[in-house]
Structure 1
Amino acid sequence: MPHARFRAASAALALTALLAGCAGAGPTAPAATPTTASTEPTRTAAPTESPIAPTEVTVAPPAPEPPAWAGPRAVDTSGWQTFTMPGGEASFRLPPSWEVRDVHAFSPGTPEPAGWAHVYTDDGEHLLGLHLVDEPWSFRCDGPGLDSRVLHAEQAELALSTPHGGTLSTEVRFDAIGVVGSVTVSLTDGWTDAAGCSPDTQVDVTPAANGIAAIAFGTGGPGPGLQSAPSFSGFSSASRALELVDADRLATAWAIVRSLEVAP
């Protein structure tokens, strides 16, 4: 907003009043003797040297911390539909107007045994990917320039056993490589292998009759086969992500992940 500046000019007026004496009898005052100018040369004060301004050192401010956040808001799921994977091993709920596409059944013993299901919003945006695998995978965060932070986590009561003995929880994370990152919503049991540096986005499940050994359910990237959702990607920092990410879709994604059920 432009700022107006007002300047006021002030003038000082000096008046010299010469008062004449009254005429009267008496001797006339002698004329004043003119003053002789001094013959000494005028001395000029030596110029004052200006102090040298110190060199300013610019220090980059520290990266802002993610703002305090209580997590995704609650969502009414009473009218949601239920989707079950073709083999019946996993199911989850989603809004009635959303769709599940690109479904691939889980087939143990085949060259590509993983099961897939991708959730799309009613306006066609890919939001979530469900990935069922027969071997655990882990999110390695030892690459250059990788910033991985858990922004919010809550314990999940999904009746799944975890061989590593960790606490099963749902996490909202900020995962970035370089200067661009994405928000992910995942299930995790808090286990990290020797090469990792943060909890991976996997849930290890005790193998059942259908052969499932791990479940990965997330949104955005990185991750195996999990496309980057526009609503959750392209942010330069965790703070920026929480400011700009679509809060309603984040809450819906959180509710979908937490609705996951696995057949015994």
Structure 2
Amino acid sequence: MQVLRRLVFFTIHASLFILVLPLVSSSQEPSKTTSHASKKDNNHKLSSKLMFEITLHGFLLWASMGFLMPVGILVIRMSNRVECGRRLKILFYTHAILQILAVLIATAGAVMSIKNFNNSFNNYHQRIGVALYGIIWLQALVGFVRPQRGSKGRSVWFFMHWLLGTAVCLLGVLNIYTGLQAYHEKTSRGIRFWTIIFTAEMSFLAFFYLFQDKWLHIQKQGVVLGNEPIMPNDQEISPRDKQKELKILTC
């Protein structure tokens, strides 16, 4: 467990270091080199192959960070109110499968980025992406070394798993937004529609996440707990009962 803690702390520190790397300025290069590079970038912008690769990269990262990962979290949260052992296993394995698929798809997107794109790390999207990939794989490793429930290190493991999962979700959503901005800068295409769609999706998932905690409380509002007697209100008392009450009071 101490080795796992050191690994977590090392990954977090390395990720923070990557995020605060100073930007390497290219303004000191000769003007000829700059003009040549700008022409080359313009040619890449017009390349249909590069456009397809950028679009596919964005789709893979959305499918991983923007869909499978959040849905997997919602699924495992449903198990908090489930007592049936068979249903618990179904929810757990569904969560595990969704998270594994998310890691594999994110890895495919990372390999595509390293292979086909200019990784100069001069923007937040690339730097956040590097940190995100490291935390994703660390989270997967932590998930595979899950101790048994009730064991000594279970609480520490659960806290680390929750912390890394939260970091992955937040960084993943943030990196999708920065990726849309990088796509706009690279291709000069509008991203307003996709930004609205993704924001609506995240809003719905966040609402469902919060609604899960309140659903059981909402169901209990109409349930009488214990053996408390149900007192009828004035509308439920019949006229005959009212006359009996008046006679008793006059006596």
TM-score range, shorter chain: under 0.3
Structure whose CA Rg is larger: 1
Question: So what's the TM-score if we normalise by structure 2?
Answer: 0.23
The structure with higher relative contact order (CA 8 Å, sep 6+) is 2
Name the one with the larger helix percent.
2
Question: So what's the TM-score if we normalise by structure 1?
Answer: 0.22
Name the one with the larger strand percent.
1
